Amino acid sequence: MKRVGRRWKWDIGGRKTWGRYLILAAVILAAGILVDLVCQRDVLMLAAGERGRFEVPEEACTWEGFTQTEDGWVLSDDMGVLSVELGGRYVSRFGFSYEYDERLSVKWYVWGPGDWGPAIIEDHNGALTQMSVERLDRPVERLQIVWGRDEMTPEAEEPVNEAETLTFRLREAFWVNSFGIRWQRVFFVWTVLGLAAFLWLGRHFIARHLEAGFLALALGLGILMIVLLPANKASWDEEVHFFHAYCVSHFGLEVKTNDMLERLFVADKENYPYSLPDNLDERRAMNATLNQSMEEEMVYSRGHALAGIYTPAYVPAALGLRLGFLLGLPFTLVYQLGRLFNLLFCAGIFAWAIRKIPIGKAVLCAIGLLPTPLFLMSMYSYDAFLTSLLALGFAWFLDEYLHPQRKIEWYGFAVIALSISIGSMPKAIYVPLILAVFLLPREKFADRRQELWMKGLAAVLFLVLMASFVLPTVLSPAESNDTRGGNTSEAGQIPYILSDIPRFLRMLISSICVTFPSYTIGSSVYGTMGHVALEMLGRVISAFMLLVLFADEKRLGSTKDREGRLRGGARAWILLLCAGIIAMVWVAMYLAFTPVGENTIKGVQARYYIPLLLPLYLCLCPDTVKINIKQERLYLLTLTGAALITGAVVTQSMLGLCG
C-alpha cells in the first residue's frame, strides 16, 4: 500500500510485477508435486508387474500361535508370529487388516538382502483403524510380525485377564507398490515455500507491520498442523475441550450424541493419543470408521448443556463445528474446522495485541509463533483463548501506562478489563493481572470520579472471578479429584497443609525455583506439542528467545523519567501479581492433582506459564541492556527464526504421519 495524501492506495504493481508473481506461484505449485514424485521415485521406477496391491500368498507365510478359521487367522496362544518370505522384492508399504476391539501394539522385524540383523519397528494402532500399515520403501528378504497379549494394549488400565477374553482375528496381509499423490506432503511443501516467498517479497512491509507477518505465519503454520494431524485427540485434554465445544456449538439447543461421540469425549481406546495413525493409509481407515459412525442416529441427550463459565472460550471452535454440520461435511472435516476457527480467533487477537503493544513487539510475536503456543491455537484448547486475550489486555494496558499524558477513554479501559476478565474465565487464577490498572497515574483520568469507577470495576471483576475459583475449594472441598494423579482429595489435602505450613511453603518455593528457567524460556514451555512432540530444540529455542528479548525495544523514545518505560515500582507490582498467580497454580495442583501427603507437587505443566511470559519478560529484563539490531532487521529475524523453529518441530513430529 502507498500513502497518497491522507489516503492509502493499493500498490499492485504493473504487468511485469504480476507476471513474476504468477511465475513464482507456478514454481511453488510445481515444486510441491515434484517433491512428492521424488519421494516416490522408487515406486515409479518399478516394472509394471511389480506395481499394484498384492495379497501375501499362503505359501509365503508361516503361522505360529494362530488357528485358521473361515474368517481369517485367530490368535489362540499368548504369542503369535507371522513370518513372510518375500525373496528380496521391493516393498513400499506392507500391512494387514484385522478385527480387534482394543488398541493394538505389535513388533515388526524386517530383513533386507544381506542384512546381518533385522530392523525393528514398534507399531501402535488405535481401536478405530482395524488396519496396520508400515512404510518400508526397500527390498525385503523376509519379515516377521509378532503379537503378544501382554503387549497388545500397552499401559492398559485393566490387567491382561480382560484382554485374554478378546478375540484377535487377522483378516488379510498385503503389500502395496502404487503411486498416489500425498496431498498432505504436497501441502507441506507449498506452505513452506509460500511462507518463505512471503517473508522475502514482503520484507519491507512486514518490517513496518510486524502484526501482518505474524498473522500470515501463524495461519500458515497453524493450518499446516491441522492438515497434518488426524481428527483425533492430539493435545492435552483435547477430548474434554472437544466435548465442551460440541455442546456450545448447539448454542442452547438440546445436545444430541451417539455412541462414537460419547467415546470421543473421553480418553478411551478410540481416542488414545499415543496410537495416532502412522501414515495416510491408516488415517484413511480411521476417517472411514469415524465418518460412518457419525451417520448413526443421535440417540443420547445431554440436555441444553453449555459449558458454564468456560463457555466464551469455546465459542470460536463451536462456530467452526456448527458451520461444518450445517454444510453437511464429513465428521473428520467438521472436527478440523473447529480447530481452524480456534486458530483464526486466537491468531487474530494475538496480531491485534502485537499491533497495539508499544514495546516488546518482537517478544510478543516470538511467544505466539513458537511451537507450543501456536500448537495450542490450532487444537481444541482454552489455553490459547486465555493467552491471546491476556496478551491483548496487557498490551493495551502498556499503551495506556507508557503514555501518561494521554487521557484514558472508556473504550480503552473496556478492552483491558474485558480482555483480561473474559480471557480468565476458563482459569480465573490469571485474573489478578487486571489489577495492573491500579498502576495508571491519576493524570490519566478525566477526573477523580472516572478513576474511582474504572479502578473499582477492575477490583470488582477481580473479586468476582477469584471467588468463583477459591470459594468452592474453601467452602466445599472435594473428597476426590483428578484420579490421574492418584489418591487425590482437596478435603484431605487442606488439613495436611495446615498441619505444617512451613514445610509446605518450603516445598512450594523449591518447586517454583527449580522449574522456573525451563518453564519460562526452555523447551518445556516452547518445544512441546501435546502428545505429538516432547521438548524439542531446547537450546536453540532458549538462545533464540534470549536474542529477541535483549534486542527488542523495551522502552519508548522519550527521555522523561515517567514516560516511555516501566518504572521500578510498576515492575515490582506486576512481578508480584505474576508471582501470586504462579504460586496459586502450584497450590491448586497440589490440592487437585497430588495424592494426599506427598512431598512433591504433581501436575504443573510449563504451558501454564505461557499467559505470564510477556509481563515476566518485560519486567525481568532490564531495558538498559540491549543487543543493537535495527528494528526492521529484528522483526524479520524474529519472524524467520520462529518460523524455522516451529517448521522444524512440525517436520520432525508430524510430517511422517502423512507418509
User: Tell me: the pLDDT tens digits for 146-155?
Assistant: 987 655 554 4
pLDDT at 151: 54
CA distances from 159 to 77, 98, 125 (A): 17, 22, 19
Q: Cβ contacts of residue 144 below 8 Å, gap of 6+?
A: 81, 82, 83, 84, 108, 109, 118
Residue 530 has pLDDT above 70, yes or no: yes
Q: What is the pLDDT of residue 304?
A: 83
Instruction: Tell me the three cell numbers of residue 35.
Output: 517433491
Residue 226 has pLDDT above 90, yes or no: yes
pLDDT of residue 207: 87
Measured distance CA(545)–CA(367) in Å, rounded? 8
Q: Which three cell numbers stand for residue 68?
A: 485358521
Pick 300 or 366 by higher pLDDT.
Answer: 366
| Residue 156: per-residue pLDDT | 41
Other beta carbons within 10 Å of 297: 8
Q: Give the pLDDT score at 562.
A: 53
Position 267 scores a pLDDT of 82
Rounded-to-integer distance, Cα 187 and Cα 227, Å: 8
Cα separation, 77 vs 66, in Å, equals: 7
Those residues with Cβ within 8 angstroms of residue 441's Cβ, 6 or more apart along the chain or in another chain: 404, 562
> How far is 565 from 210, CA to CA, in rounded Å?
21
Predicted confidence (pLDDT) at residue 35 exceeds the cutoff of 80: yes
**Residue 93: what are its φ and ψ, rounded to 5°?**
-135, 135
Q: For residues 373 and 611, what is the distance between their CA atoms, to the nearest angstrom?
A: 10
The one-character DSSP state at 89 is: E
Looking at 20-24, 414-418, 648-652, which range is the least confident one?
Answer: 20-24
Q: For the chain, what is the mean pLDDT?
A: 87
Residue 187: pLDDT band with limits 50, 70, 90: very high
- Contact of 75 with 65, CB cutoff 8 Å: yes
Q: Quote the pLDDT of residue 159.
A: 38
Sort 148 into a burial class: Cβ within 10 Å, 0-12 / 13-18 / 19+. Answer: middle
Please tell me the predicted confidence (pLDDT) of residue 4: 52
User: What is the model's pLDDT at position 11?
Assistant: 54
Q: Per-residue pLDDT for 345 more than 50?
A: yes
- What pLDDT shows up at residue 472? 76
Mean pLDDT across 292-307: 86
Q: Please tell me the distance from the alpha carbon of residue 102 to that of residue 554, in angstroms, as a whole number.
A: 55
Examine the pLDDT at 523 and tell me if it is beyond 80: yes
Strand partners, 102: none
Q: In the prediction, which pLDDT does 584 show?
A: 93
User: What digits encode the pLDDT tens for the residues 360-387?
Assistant: 999 999 999 999 999 999 999 999 999 9
**Does residue 605 have a pLDDT over 60?**
yes
3-state secondary structure (DSSP) of residue 391 = helix
Does the pLDDT of residue 33 top 50, yes or no? yes
Residue 322 CA to residue 318 CA, distance in Å, equals 6
Residue 211: predicted pLDDT = 94
Is the distance from CB of 547 to CB of 521 less than 8 angstroms?
no
Per-residue pLDDT averaged across 203-232, rounded?
Answer: 93
Task: Look at residue 358 and tell me whether its pLDDT is greater than 90.
Answer: yes
Encode burial over 172-203: b for 16+ CB neighbours within 10 A, e otherwise: ebebbbeeeebebbbbbbbbbbbbeebbeebb
> Which of 14-18, 35-39, 143-147, 413-417 bottoms out in mean pLDDT, i.e. has the lowest?
14-18
Which grid cell is 577? 501479581
Contact call for residues 273 and 530 (beta carbons, < 8 A) = yes
Q: Give yes or no for a contact between 434 and 420, defined as CB atoms under 8 angstroms apart.
A: yes
Local structure of residue 593 (DSSP, 8 states) = T
Q: At what angle do helices 183-201 and 210-228 cross, to 10 degrees?
A: 170
479 DSSP β-pair partners: none
Task: Kindly report, residue by residue over 99-127, the tens digit of the pLDDT.
Answer: 888 888 889 999 988 878 888 988 888 88
Position 69 pLDDT exceeds 90 = no
What is the arithmetic mean of pLDDT over 555-566?
65
How confident is residue 242, by pLDDT bands cut at 50, 70 and 90?
very high
Q: Which residue has the cell 491522507?
A: 6
pLDDT exceeding 70 applies to what percent of the chain?
Answer: 92
Measured in whole angstroms, the distance separating CA 395 from the mean position of its chain's CA atoms is 23
The candidate with the shortest Cα–Cα distance to 55, out of 109, 96, 110, is: 96
CA geometry: angle 600, 603, 606, nearest 5 deg: 110
What mean pLDDT comes out for the span 447-455? 93
For the residues of 401-458, what is the DSSP string, one character each? HT-TTSPPPHHHHHHHHHHHHHHHSS-GGGGGGGGGGGGS-GGGSSSHHHHHHHHHHH
Comparing 223-232, 258-267, 415-424, 464-473, the range with the smallest average pLDDT is 464-473
The per-residue pLDDT for range 131-178, each reduced to its tens digit, is 899 998 899 999 999 987 655 554 444 433 333 457 888 888 999 998
- How many whole angstroms separate alpha carbon 395 and alpha carbon 211? 13
- Residue 271 CB-density burial (10 A; 0-12 exposed, 13-18 middle, 19+ buried): buried
Q: What pLDDT is attached to residue 161?
A: 36
Whether the predicted pLDDT of 339 surpasses 80: yes
Q: What is the DSSP string of 239-306?
A: HHHHHHHHHHTTTTS--EE-HHHHHHTTT-GGG-GGG--SSHHHHHHHHHHHHHHTTS---EE--S--
In this predicted structure, the answer to whether residue 559 has a pLDDT above a threshold of 50 is no
3-class DSSP state of 159: coil
Tell me what percent of the residues of the chain surpass a pLDDT of 90: 51
Choose the weakest-confidence range: 90-104, 292-306, 467-481, 637-651.
467-481
Q: Compare 475 and 524 and report the one with higher pLDDT.
A: 524
Contact 388, 613 (CB under 8 A): no
In this prediction, residue 14 carries a pLDDT of 57
- Grid cell listed for 376: 495450542
366, 548 Cβ separation under 8 angstroms = yes
Q: Which residues contact 176 (CB under 8 A, 6 or more apart)?
A: 52, 53, 54, 92, 93, 94, 95, 281
